[in-house]
């Protein structure tokens, strides 16, 4: 409803506009097919994003303005409404809102006030919601402090972005390089050509709109060129550049279906190539990919996967730039964890970067012979053999029971680790544990391994509940010292949990352990259907 429906509305209006400009039904259908399946509309109408609804709002506004050389008040009201609606979803749409306002002020003079009147309702709702979020009417993206939190992968500035180190190289990659919009979707070249030809249109209102849309698209591109460095994040194609695509496509409609055989063949070829290219993105919108054909500055080197695990860093770019550059063109899948309570160990050699703000837990440091001093350091190693050796020394005995607390009548069933916990086909196995009683705390160290991975899964937490003879929780710790979404198949994960015993009376207790998804408030289950395991009884 929120994303696929707006994409459908764009395509329906594109069809109506094609018929308005005299296209035949087959050619209009082919145009809609190419726009719907050969551009970023396809992959980003299958997932929850703001780009498609914002693009719809701008396209409706342009549609109304193109259909009328002298727009009536109702068209101006709705154009203002939908253009402002686009801004409330994607702030970069403001460039085109201003472009349309300039067009109306240029052409309609005082009638442009109706365009601004139509924008009032969404603008007021937008400001009210902003006030509820950040305490003022300005968009939350302007609240730079909101991006500066522990573990943030963004930057503490406007919109959390930062500029690329090499602007010309970034521009090349945005357009025709390894992440190039024109390389992924060459059909955009036809749209740009149509907008350029519209600058000589017979109708003056079409010329003026084409000029302002082209200017807005250029400013839109320059904004992201000079303010960002990551192509729209971990995604298929530079997703930020989707917004002007339907607007430019409208002018390809205005110029009409090519008349000559060569022109028709070229359009059909680039449309089919775009559809084949885009299909990969529809299968995996949040998986980065390279275009089938693209321009490279140099011949690519053979790529390796170099696992990188980070603790205390808000972004990969925050580590030493010399170290980052040493990775070259290799792929660096990144695990995020908090070394104060956990450690990720990929199954192969990798890099660890631990910031002094999150010193490694002494329990983990001692077991793996690493430094736990509060200093910033990085190292390259293969910790998997040491991790497996440590797991081999851990306790493997656990229990399952149909009753909350086992009794003489209902004894606990002894089981041996590892045991797999599953939710939505995503699997993580408990391979061993250690219990240490120190001062007024019980320290639980658990060893896990990712056994099967699906995305997205949501977060995870390990619960460790100390239960008395009545089944009451007298002390607990629910935590997961890593970003679960960043963990990959085969990764080991060690968790350290401290259970405070200061207010726990002497007696006999059971410790129940398991995992749950805190977003959905649902526990993971073992193959036997249990949502927890019991560790051996413990007496204080």
- Distance CA(63)–CA(255), nearest Å, equals 15
Note the pTM of the prediction, 2 decimals.
0.62
Report how far Cα 182 is from the mean position of its chain's Cα atoms. 22
Cβ-based neighbour number of residue 287 at 10 Å: 13
Dihedral angle of Cα 468, 470, 471, 473, to the nearest 10 degrees = -50
Both structure tokens of 168: 């010309």
SS3 labels along 10-72 = HHHHHHHHHHHCCCCHHHHHHHHHHHHHCCCHHHHCCCCCCHHHHHHHHHHHHHHHHHCCCCC
Q: Which residue has the tokens 């977060």?
A: 459
Of residues 202, 303, 240, 211, the one with CA closest to residue 93: 240
Per the listing, tokens 């390389």 go with 183
Tell me how far apart the alpha carbons of residues 148 and 426 are, in angstroms, rounded to a whole number. Answer: 31
Per-residue pLDDT in tens (0 to 9) along the chain, 540 residues:
999 999 999 999 999 999 999 999 999 999 999 999 999 999 999 999 999 999 999 999 999 999 988 899 999 999 999 999 999 999 999 999 999 999 999 888 888 899 999 999 999 999 999 999 989 999 988 888 887 776 666 766 667 777 888 899 999 999 999 899 999 999 999 999 999 999 988 888 899 999 999 999 999 999 999 988 888 887 899 998 999 999 999 999 998 888 888 989 999 999 999 999 999 999 989 887 889 998 887 655 667 788 999 998 878 878 888 888 888 778 888 899 999 999 999 999 999 999 988 999 999 998 888 877 778 888 999 999 999 999 999 999 999 888 888 876 567 888 999 999 999 889 999 999 999 988 788 999 999 999 998 877 888 999 999 988 888 898 899 999 999 989 999 999 999 999 998 888 888 888 999 999 998 899 999 999 999 999 988 887
Distance of CA 518 to the CA centre of its chain: 19
Calpha distance 38→80 (Å, rounded): 29
Q: What is the dihedral of CA 71, 72, 78, 79, to 10 degrees?
A: 20
Contact 75, 68 (CB under 8 A): yes
């Amino acid at each position: 409803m929120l994303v696929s429906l707006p994409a459908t509305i764009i395509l329906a209006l594109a069809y109506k506009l094609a018929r308005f400009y005299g296209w035949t039904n087959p050619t209009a259908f082919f145009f809609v097919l190419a726009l719907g399946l050969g551009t970023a509309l396809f992959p980003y109408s299958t997932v929850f994003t703001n780009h498609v609804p914002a693009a719809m709002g701008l396209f409706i506004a342009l549609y109304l303005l193109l259909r009328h050389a002298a727009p009536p008040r109702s068209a101006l009201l709705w154009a203002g409404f939908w253009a402002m609606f686009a801004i409330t979803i994607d702030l970069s749409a403001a460039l085109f809102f201003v472009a349309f306002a300039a067009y109306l002020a240029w052409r309609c003079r005082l009638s442009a006030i109706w365009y601004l009147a139509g924008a009032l309702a969404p603008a007021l709702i937008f400001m009210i919601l902003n006030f509820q979020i950040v305490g003022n009417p300005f968009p939350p993206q302007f609240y730079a402090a909101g991006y500066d939190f522990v573990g943030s992968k963004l930057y503490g500035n406007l919109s959390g972005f930062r500029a690329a180190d090499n602007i010309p190289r970034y521009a090349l990659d945005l357009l025709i390089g390894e992440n190039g919009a024109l390389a992924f979707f060459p059909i955009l070249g036809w749209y740009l050509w149509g907008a350029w030809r519209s600058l000589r249109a017979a109708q003056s209102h079409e010329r003026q709109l084409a000029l302002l849309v082209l200017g807005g698209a250029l400013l839109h591109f320059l904004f992201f060129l000079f303010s960002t460095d990551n192509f729209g994040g971990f995604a298929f194609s530079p997703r930020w550049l989707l917004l002007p695509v339907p607007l430019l496509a409208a002018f390809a409609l205005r110029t009409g279906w090519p008349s000559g055989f060569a022109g028709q063949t070229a359009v059909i070829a680039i449309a089919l190539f775009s559809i084949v290219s885009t299909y990969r993105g529809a299968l995996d919108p949040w998986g980065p990919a390279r275009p089938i054909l693209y321009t490279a500055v140099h011949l690519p080197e053979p790529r390796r996967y170099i696992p990188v695990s980070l603790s205390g860093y808000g972004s990969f770019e925050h580590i030493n730039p010399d170290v980052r550059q040493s990775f070259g063109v290799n792929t660096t899948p990144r695990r995020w964890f908090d070394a104060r309570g956990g450690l990720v160990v990929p199954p192969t050699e990798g890099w660890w970067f631990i910031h002094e703000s999150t010193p490694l837990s002494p329990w983990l440091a001692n077991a793996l012979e690493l430094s736990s001093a509060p200093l910033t350091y990085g190292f390259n190693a293969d910790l998997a053999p040491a991790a497996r050796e440590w797991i081999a020394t851990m306790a493997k005995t656990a229990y399952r029971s149909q009753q909350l607390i086992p009794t003489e009548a209902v004894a606990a069933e002894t089981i041996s680790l590892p045991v797999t916990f599953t939710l939505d086909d995503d699997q993580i196995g408990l391979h061993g544990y250690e219990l240490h009683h120190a001062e007024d705390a019980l320290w639980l160290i658990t060893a896990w391994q990712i056994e099967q991975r699906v995305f997205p899964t949501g977060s995870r937490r390990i619960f460790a509940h100390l239960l008395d003879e009545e089944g009451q929780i007298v002390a607990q710790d629910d935590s997961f010292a890593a970003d679960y979404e960043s963990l990959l198949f085969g990764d080991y994960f060690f968790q350290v949990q401290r259970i405070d015993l200061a207010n726990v009376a002497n007696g006999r207790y059971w410790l129940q352990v398991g995992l749950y998804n805190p977003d959905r408030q649902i526990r993971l289950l073992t193959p036997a259907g249990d949502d927890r395991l019991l560790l051996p009884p413990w007496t204080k």
